Chain A
Amino acid sequence: MMEHAWLIPIFPLVTFLVLLLSGGRLRDRGAFIGIICTLASFVLSLLVLIERFKEPTYNISIDWLSFGGTQLSAGFEINQLNALMLVVVSLVSLLVQIYSKGYMKGEVRFSIFYAYLGFFTFAMLGLVMAPNLLQLYIFWELVGVGSFLLIGFYFYKLEAKAAAKKAFIMTRIGDVGLLIGIILLFWETGSFEYGEIFQAVQSGMISSEKLTLIAILIFIGAVGKSGQFPLHTWLPDAMEGPTPVSALIHAATMVAAGVYLVAAMFPLFMASSAAMQVVAITGGITAIFAASIAMVQKDVKRVLAYSTISQLGFMMLALGTSGYVAGVFHLMTHAFFKALLFLAAGSVIHAIHTQDMEKMGGLWRKLNWTGPLFLTGTLAISGFPLLSGFFSKDEILMAAWENGSYILFGLAVVTSFLTAFYMFRLFFMMFAGDSRSQAEQVKESPFIMLIPMLALALLAVIGGYIQTPWFGTFLGEWLVEGNEALLGASHSEGPVWIMLMAVLVSLAGIYLAYMIYVKKKLSREWLVKENSEVFRILENKYYIDEIYHFTAGYAIKGFSIFLSYIERFIVGGLVSTVTSSIEGLGKVGSKLQTGQVQQYGMIAFLGLAVLLVIFAVTGGYLR
């Protein structure tokens, strides 16, 4: 089955091409094509995963580009990590496409939406299957385009336009870092293939400074894609896209690509402790930084966006503290519960046509399905015991502790608390209390939107049981199997009190949210008044956007304008000098046309004399 794995990304590509070429004539039928093709991908991915349990890594490639004596190849590889990713990506994509059939109903460009989803799914699956860094980079950029197209799907909205552009450019900055990293790595190891690179790294051929530099450059790519500080600003804005897109791209798959990249290049990072530290610290800072912003945002999707950034920071922190399995595990569980949260939020938005939390409330009784589903996701992300997020977050905390990074461990614990708090703040503001909505009739979403949410909710509940301290660490053992560099990383050990503390911390967060937003024991107004400075900074997201705008934005624009003056006056001056001197030459030449034979004769004679002198001096030739 694995030899046919190349078909997995081809199916969604077919969707894209068919729907694009049909030019919107298929309308609602476009959804069927999309769903059927993605279903095929999903089934195939599942079969590949099952086969991968029994068989070793599969790898095939063909010559793709040759220069000099170098042959670059293209192909695909099925190892543990990407077999798992294939299933996660195709599953979430499938569920989102089913959901979109209900959510996007009535949209004029319905089939174009599915075409873009197909393109994105193609690129994401291709990214995951890439056997070498160059191919990864190719698909890495293509997912960026898919994201760009979908964020800008409502192209006539100015916010969507700006958000799409920002997303593309911010991630491009990271991508350039990645590109340089790949190129430097190529000249150090002579290859783009993972296997050969890791061999070269382990043989100690590369100096440690170079190794650190390369690892950090590659990490910059991951920072851009995964919305890590300081390149995170595009991700909240990306919420301008349709909500199913946010669930698929900006929660479950593309933004996780950065984490995937670090995981896929793990042996390289392991070889440089400085780079690992950069990864861990960036992750830790991002986690707490984004969580603090999420506490005060008023837009449902933005809260979820900052939550995504924060959770991705968590994963980076795990990877940076050698918690390979913890990072990948959380990547998987997060994909399920965050996609669920977005889809459920979309279901709410679908019902009451607003994203403003202040205008919601009391929806628990009205949305009988969405409410419990949203609650499931909220509990899972908060680390409520026995749900998937509990296990994966626990694994991360253990990893940080085991690594001896106590400061980062502390950061992670605080972030857990904040996470539980802001998620339940969100939940209570939406579902508890009295209705503040202006919508008169609130209708539960159709069946076709509920089914995918139910599937994700199920996974968000049980997804954690493949790696628990009690029932065995199946995932971890399988992931590190046959990979010497990762040996012994299948599971992190730590004292029992860590798990207890994690539970207490998340319960405390939930309790605090409950006291403020349901019981109103703590007045919100009072809190805001007492800490108005802090609130202002948080509400303005630490003014990062403004800082970028006034520094980099103005600098580039100013420099461009400066250059356009140079262009006009200096280069333009050069041009007019050239033209006027040629004109002048012509005028002098025409003055010589006097018609006097004596004068012509004299000039001819002088010319001859000059030539003779030259001849005499040089002996005939200029050398």
Chain B
Amino acid sequence: MNVYLLSLLVFSPLLGIVMVALMPKKEERTIKQFGFFGTLPPLFLSFFLCSQYYSGVALSIFDIKLNWIRFGNLEMYDPKLFTVDFELGLDGLSLIFILLTTIISSLAAIASIYIKKEWKGYYLLFLILEIGMLGVFTAENLILFFIFFEMTLIPAFFLIGRWGFLEREKASYSFLIYNGIGSAVLLVAILILFARTGTTNIAALTQMMTMGGVSLFAPISGSMKYGLCLAFLVAFAIKLPVFPFHSWMVRVHAEAPPSIVMIHAGVLLKIGAYGIIRFGMGIFPEQYKSLAFTIVLFGVLSFLYGAFLALVQTDFKLVLAYSSISHMGIVMMGLGALNEAGIQGAIFQVISHGLIAALLFFLVGALYERTGTTMLPKLGGLAKSMPIFSGFMLACGMASLGLPGMSGFISEFMVFLGLFKSQPLLAAIGVIGLVLTAVYVLRAVMLMTFGKNDSLIEKEKWDLRGWEFLPTLVLLGLIISVGVYPNLLGGPLQGTIEAMMLALGGR
């Protein structure tokens, strides 16, 4: 049973897909319910895996490996070479990402209640997207990773382009082009590795590249390794995104439906960070190490650039978009710090930003539903008509600016702790961003909720109500739990980070 659990997890949204597919087009209510129920099996399965982990079960017992594709018939080689197996696996790092995915997917499915048309297509794509995301975080070889990676692109493309705001089509095209370029670079790198080593298994590759001495099918020179590492980094830096590859993501944030942005900012961007950790840092530690300064530099650039631009935006969605760029800069800074504090901080930041961005965009969705606008000059004084909404908005803004007691602080703190050790100069420049973050977050949140506004026609019972409390409370609860007791998240990560540090050559 255990062996099939991961496959079951990854493909469990299929159940929902079948249910939604069998419904007639017009049944709005039922489709929405089925769509939401479709996200529950993976949610419960991931909870089960998590409980297994905490009860002390080794995660490796869930690994599955089935023969899948064999290239050529080269009898002279080891039969293990040039095969691509169907192999899924789990470790502490991927477990955390899986949980993030399932939780945010379920909550985004709830937020999808604001979707106004063609519910059937929407939920079908939504659930396919979830399969892709789950697959990405469990794939044990590069080919499988790539397939799942592409599987997230296509549904996201349609979801943005069909159900988004006014300029949705333009946004979805730039999404596709940028991610397509990233994928192309990634594919080339993967294929070169496959051709050279005869395997795409991540663990095997990691061992080959880091331990040395293991005979390769064909030798790879240092400069080639360097190039491959760079290719992985660029591919995932586009996904993250890092300045100057960020403009597609700004458009997506602004134009995609809020429920999809919850997924996009909450999980999809995080694939970039996951990829850098697994492939950039994991497979090519030496080359990665020599690039550390550049990585931090781009991290600091993104951090400050995003913060400065968030300061002058008039659309709240754009403030959040630039804020995401800024926060992903922190991830890069942590990953480039090359010590436990920095790397763990970066992973914390990934999770933390996933939760915070999801909550913020849920609130954006709720706001747009009521006011029909997210333009800051048109808003104001919401604390009067929507006190609960405003309270959540303020709490979430505080989380976003890294208030202690919430998850964002732990990650920012650890990243800077690590960075001041390894790159004190860049760290000292980076701290300016901490002040800027406070400025732009407060500016945006206070423009919306404080003050007075006569132009908004307030209605009765405007505030958050009923089911809307579920996503808000769950997300805020998670943000606070991680902030109050970070070891909750730190525990599962220790193993992975230790292995990384070993490869990177101590601290």
Interface residues of A (CB under 8 A from B): 20, 23-24, 63-70, 134, 137-139, 141-142, 145, 152, 155-156, 158, 161, 164-165, 168-169, 172-173, 176, 179-180, 183-184, 186-187, 556-557, 559-561, 563-564, 567, 571-572, 574-575, 578-579, 582, 621-623
Contacts and interface: CB of A to CB of B under 8 A. Distances in A.
Given A141-B409, A579-B174, 18 more contacts: A23-B387, A23-B388, A64-B487, A65-B487, A67-B344, A67-B414, A68-B497, A139-B404, A141-B404, A164-B446, A164-B450, A165-B446, A169-B438, A180-B416, A575-B174, A575-B248, A578-B178, A579-B177
A140 B199 CA distance: 53
Interface string B382-414: 011001100100000010000111000110011
Nearest to B439: A169
A245 B417 CA distance: 35
B415 to A, nearest CB: 11
Interface stretch (B49-57, B95-103, B217-225, B281-289): B217-225
B442 A168 contact: yes
Contact of A68 (B219, B340, B403): B340
Nearest to A575: B247
Given A156-B381, A183-B417, A187-B420, A578 B181 contact: yes
Contacts of A168: 438, 442
Contacts of A139: 404
For the complex of A and B, list the 10 residue pairs with the smallest distance between their C-beta atoms, beginning with the closest. Answer: A68-B340, A138-B404, A161-B450, A623-B221, A560-B312, A65-B486, A67-B340, A155-B450, A560-B308, A560-B311
Contact of A184 (B311, B420, B451, B497): B420
Interface stretch (B64-72, B125-133, B150-158, B428-436): B428-436
A155 B383 contact: yes
B110 to A, nearest CB: 22
B443 interface: yes
Contacts of A176: 431, 434-435
A220 to B, nearest CB: 12
A556 B487 contact: no
Contacts of B218: 621
Contacts of A158: 451-452
A152 B450 contact: yes
Nearest to A567: B309
A508 to B, nearest CB: 44
Interface in B148-185: 173-174, 177-178, 181
B459 interface: no
Contacts of B105: none
A23 B463 CA distance: 12
Nearest to B433: A176
Given A161-B451, A575-B174, A67 B341 contact: yes
Contacts of A64: 485-487
B312 A561 contact: yes
A150 to B, nearest CB: 13
Contacts of A23: 387-388
A169 B312 CA distance: 17
A64 B404 CA distance: 14
A190 to B, nearest CB: 11
A67 B340 CA distance: 6
B324 interface: no
Contact of A70 (B223, B340, B384, B428): B340
B409 A145 contact: no
Given A165-B442, A564-B309, A571-B247, A68 B339 contact: yes
A132 to B, nearest CB: 13
B435 A156 contact: no
Contact of A172 (B420, B438, B494): B438
Contacts of B246: 571
Given A180-B428, A183-B420, A622 B224 contact: yes
B47 interface: no
Given A64-B487, A161-B451, A557-B311, A173 B435 contact: yes
B341 A560 contact: no
Classify the secondary structure of B's interface with A: helix
Given A67-B341, A142-B405, A161-B450, A559 B308 contact: yes
Interface of B: 173-174, 177-178, 181, 196, 218-221, 223-224, 244, 246-248, 305, 308-309, 311-312, 339-341, 344, 381, 383-384, 387-388, 391, 398, 403-405, 409-410, 413-414, 416-417, 420-421, 428, 431, 434-436, 438-439, 442-443, 446, 449-452, 485-487, 490, 494, 497-498, 501, 507
19 contacts: A67-B344, A68-B344, A70-B341, A138-B409, A155-B383, A161-B446, A165-B446, A176-B435, A180-B431, A184-B420, A560-B312, A563-B308, A563-B309, A564-B312, A572-B247, A575-B247, A578-B178, A579-B173, A623-B223
Contacts of A186: 417
Nearest to B436: A556
Nearest to B438: A172
Contacts of A134: 413
A161 B220 CA distance: 61
Nearest to A562: B308
B490 A66 contact: yes
Contact of A145 (B398, B417, B451, B486): B398
B405 A138 contact: yes
Contact of B410 (A63, A65, A137, A164): A65
A156 B405 contact: no
Given A161-B446, A571-B244, A582 B410 contact: no
A235 B404 CA distance: 22
A180 B420 contact: yes
Contacts of B431: 176, 179-180
A102 to B, nearest CB: 25
A352 to B, nearest CB: 26
Contacts of B490: 65-67
Contact of B443 (A70, A165, A564): A165
B404 A142 contact: yes
Contacts of A142: 403-405
A563 B440 CA distance: 15
A145 B483 CA distance: 16
A242 to B, nearest CB: 16
Q: Which of B383, B414, B434, B442 has most A Cβ within 10 Å?
A: B442
Contacts of A70: 340-341
Contacts of A180: 416, 420, 428, 431
Given A155-B449, A579-B177, A66 B487 contact: yes
Contacts of B181: 578
B416 A179 contact: yes
Nearest to A180: B431
A134 B305 CA distance: 28
Contacts of B383: 155-156
Q: Which of A141, A142, A164 has most B Cβ within 10 Å?
A: A141
Contacts of A155: 383-384, 449-451
Nearest to A23: B388
Contacts of B439: 169, 556
Contacts of B387: 23-24
Contacts of B339: 68
A435 to B, nearest CB: 34
A552 to B, nearest CB: 10
Nearest to B345: A67
A165 B441 CA distance: 10
A426 B413 CA distance: 45
Contacts of B409: 138, 141
Nearest to B195: A621
Contacts of A567: 247, 309
B481 to A, nearest CB: 13
Contacts of B384: 155-156
A225 B416 CA distance: 22
A567 B246 CA distance: 10
A580 to B, nearest CB: 11
Contact of B403 (A145, A557, A571): A145
Given A165-B446, A622-B224, A66 B494 contact: yes
